[in-house]
Amino acid sequence: MSACSGIGIFAGYKTLSLIRAGSGCASRAFVITNFEDASVGFMNLQGSVLEGEPTGVIAEDGAYFASGGNPDSKRAVIFLTDIFGLKLRNSKILADQFAQHLKCDVWIPDLFAGHPPVTEAQMKSLPDRAGVKMGFFDIVKLIFVVLPSIPSLFISNRKSVVDGRTTSLVKKVKETKGYEKIGAIGYCFGGGVATRVGSSTTLFDSIVLVHPSAPTDAQLNAIKAPTAWAQPEDDMGIKPARLEEIKALYEERKKKEDYESEITVYKGCAHGFGARPNLTYPDVKEGFEKAFQQAVDWFNKTIPA
C-alpha cells in the first residue's frame, strides 16, 4: 500500500471533494462540480470497512440520526441495517451519505437494542464477489460462528420484536418531526424488516431492497409502496430462479394495477456488496456505487422533495 493510500473521498449532491493525505504524501485536493458525471466516491477501504467517520448522532431509542441539513424537508429515510446492526460503522457512513445526497433526514433504528447477533469479524469467510465459493472448512467455521446467535434471533431479536422497534421509531419521528413521506432502505436482514413492515403497514411510501433476506410472494403482493431492488449476481439467499419468479410477480401486478417496481442485478457482486463492499474489485466497486445512486434516484422519483 502506498504512502498516499489514506486519501479519502466524500460526495456532495452536486460536488465531489477530496481533501486528505497519508503520511509522507503531499496534500491533494480537487472538486468535481458535476456529481451526475462522477461516481459516488467511496474509494478507500480497510477490508470491507468504508473510509471516514460517522458524523451523525445517537438520538431517540438508541437510533442513529443523520441530518439532511434541510429543516423544511417533509421526507425522511429509514435505514434498516444488516445483521451487524449499528456496530457496523459502514451503515452510519452510508446513512450520512444518503442524508447529504437526498437533503433529508435519515434514521437508523437500533434493530437489536445494542446487541447484534454477530459481528463483521465473525463473518469474514463470506464471499465478497461473484463466483467465489466457500470451502468446506469455511462452511464449518461459519456454522460454529452462527450457532450461538440462534437463540437471540428467536428470542430477544425475533422478527416481531425487531419489526416493533422499527415501527415504533417510524411513528415517533413522523409525529415529532412532521415528516409526510417516509422511504425505507433495507440491507440483507434489514431488507426483511422493510418487506415485513411494508407489507403489514402503510408506514413506508417508498422502499429499496438491497440483497434482502428472501420475501414471500404474499409479502411482495401486499406491499403498496413502490419498490426497487439492488441485487447481486450471486446471492446465497435468493437464487436466479427465485429472482425470475419475483420479476414475473411484479409484471403480473403491473398488468392489474398502477404499481412501480424495478430490479437491477449488479454483475460481479455477491451478497453484502451494498453494505460491506470489497472495493479492491472493480465490479464490486462499480456495483456498490451504482446501487447507492439507484437508491438516491428511486427516492427522488417516488418521494420527491
Residues with Cβ < 8 Å from 75, sequence gap 6 or more?
Answer: 102, 104, 179, 180, 181, 182, 183, 299, 303, 304, 305
Residues with Cβ < 8 Å from 34, sequence gap 6 or more?
Answer: 14
Taking the model in full, what pTM does it have? 0.82
pLDDT tens for the chain, residues 1 to 305: 433 433 333 333 333 333 333 333 333 332 323 333 323 333 333 347 898 999 999 997 899 999 999 999 999 999 999 999 999 899 999 999 999 999 999 999 999 999 998 876 666 667 888 988 877 887 787 788 778 778 887 888 999 999 999 999 999 999 999 999 999 999 999 999 999 999 999 999 999 999 999 999 999 999 999 999 999 999 989 999 999 999 999 999 999 999 999 999 999 999 999 999 999 999 999 999 999 999 999 999 999 99
Tell me what pLDDT residue 295 has: 99
Which H or E run contains 9? strand 9-11
Tell me what pLDDT residue 121 has: 67
Tell me what pLDDT residue 45 has: 34
C-alpha cell belonging to residue 82: 444488516
Residues with Cβ < 8 Å from 187, sequence gap 6 or more?
Answer: 80, 81, 82, 91, 210, 211, 212, 274, 275
DSSP of 49-76: EESS----EE-GGG-EEE--S-TT--EE
Tell me what pLDDT residue 129 has: 86
Give all domains of the chain, ordered by start, each with its CATH number: 56-302 (3.40.50.1820)
Query: What's the CA gap between 27 and 151, in Å, rounded?
Result: 50
Query: What's the CA gap between 273 and 128, in Å, rounded?
Result: 7
Do the beta carbons of residue 22 and residue 43 sit within 8 Å?
no
Tell me what pLDDT residue 138 has: 76
